[in-house]
Amino acid sequence: MGSVHHRTATVGGQEIFYREAGPADAPAIVLLHGYPTSSFMFRDLIPLLAGDYHVIAPDHLGFGHSAAPSVEEFTYTFDALAGLTSGLLEHLGLDRYALYVQDYGAPIGWRLALEHPERISALVTQNGNGYEDGFVESFWSDVWAYGANPGPDTEPAVRAALSLDAIRWQYVHGVPDPSLVSPDTWEHDFALVSREGNDEIQLALFRDYRNNRPLYPLLHAFLRTGDVPVLAVWGRNDEIFGPAGARAFARDAEDAEVHLVDGGHFLLESHLDVVAGHLRGFLGRVLGPAGSLTPRSRPR
């Protein structure tokens, strides 16, 4: 297992934190985290990949150890977060990479793929939605209501998602043995979300989430025509993005590999070895060996 470096870069005037590991000349994989966490969610996965791949895992602006300017200083949208991520990867000289996306990382990753499809060697989605099929209505109805009409009638329901209980729920729901999930996860995330002004950052992104949905048809066209290998490894018990969202990738991505695992939204916390096994097998089949930036021919 390789050493993991903890670094920052200035992108668009903002300090972006990222974890980096593995040989610089190996095939690259970029790990994009979800809400309400950070690259911390990949802390145990990165060393399992670093022997064969160049791994980059940034914290989105407003999350983790990246800068968190106030909403008066920065307009938080998924377009803006994707722009910063793209800028970081260009700063690092990455012009070809696989993407691993989860939750918020998905709409950020889809924007990267649509902006520069030639740079994407493979897509891995772990409970990272790209289809209307994936939305669990009981969770998302409050988000849609808030996005359509933000105000005192709709805000309390989504503000509740910032609570410790709600963040803990994201980690343990759907996990057959919740004792496998460390309390450090939700305590860590809650502390960062509770920083002064961070609630307004998160509310801004809740409001903007509905603007991710128009990207889906563009993503589907990219999957049909881009010949990019796809792996969907998904917690089948996720009550945020349901398993239909994983199966849907097989509609558009030829030879999409779909695995439904008996877990929840943050699958790495309870099924790290299972996810890593599927991921390493997939990457081994579709990417060239360490030292090569040329993807192998896709299996047929």
Structure tokens at 90: 């260009």
**What is the Cα–Cα distance from 125 to 99, expressed in whole angstroms?**
8
Is 265 a known active-site residue? yes
Please write the tens of the pLDDT for every residue from 250-260.
999 999 999 99
Instruction: Supply the mean pLDDT for the chain.
Output: 95
**What is the Cα–Cα distance from 189 to 47, expressed in whole angstroms?**
21
Of 167, 156, 155, 154, nearest to 194 by C-alpha is 167
Residue 226 is predicted with a pLDDT of 82
Structure tokens at 160: 């509740």
Taking residues 70-99, report their average pLDDT.
98
Residue 300 is predicted with a pLDDT of 31
Residue 1 is predicted with a pLDDT of 57
Question: How many Cβ atoms sit within 10 Å of the Cβ of residue 208?
Answer: 18
Point out the catalytic residue in the list 54, 65, 188, 265.
Answer: 265
**What is the Cα–Cα distance from 139 to 36, expressed in whole angstroms?**
15
pLDDT at 297 over 70: no
**What is the Cα–Cα distance from 62 to 279, expressed in whole angstroms?**
28
| Structural contact between residues 252 and 277, judged by C-beta atoms closer than 8 angstroms | no
- Integer angstrom CA distances of residue 212 from 78, 99, 186, 225, 231: 8, 18, 26, 21, 21
Strand partners, 122: 98
**What is the Cα–Cα distance from 143 to 150, expressed in whole angstroms?**
10
Q: How confident is the model at residue 88 (pLDDT cuts 50, 70, 90)?
A: very high
Please write the tens of the pLDDT for every residue from 139-197.
999 999 999 999 999 999 999 999 999 999 999 999 999 999 999 999 999 999 999 99
Give the percent of the chain with pLDDT over 90. Answer: 94
Give the percent of the chain with pLDDT over 70. Answer: 95
**What is the Cα–Cα distance from 279 to 282, expressed in whole angstroms?**
5
For strands 14-21 and 54-58, give the pairing: antiparallel
Please write the tens of the pLDDT for every residue from 51-66.
999 999 999 999 999 9
pLDDT at 291 over 70: no
Of 51, 47, 50, 74, nearest to 62 by C-alpha is 74
> Considering all CA atoms of the chain, what is the largest pairwise distance in Å, rounded to the nearest integer?
55
Q: How confident is the model at residue 289 (pLDDT cuts 50, 70, 90)?
A: low
The one-letter code for the residue type at 298 is: R
pLDDT at 290 over 70: no
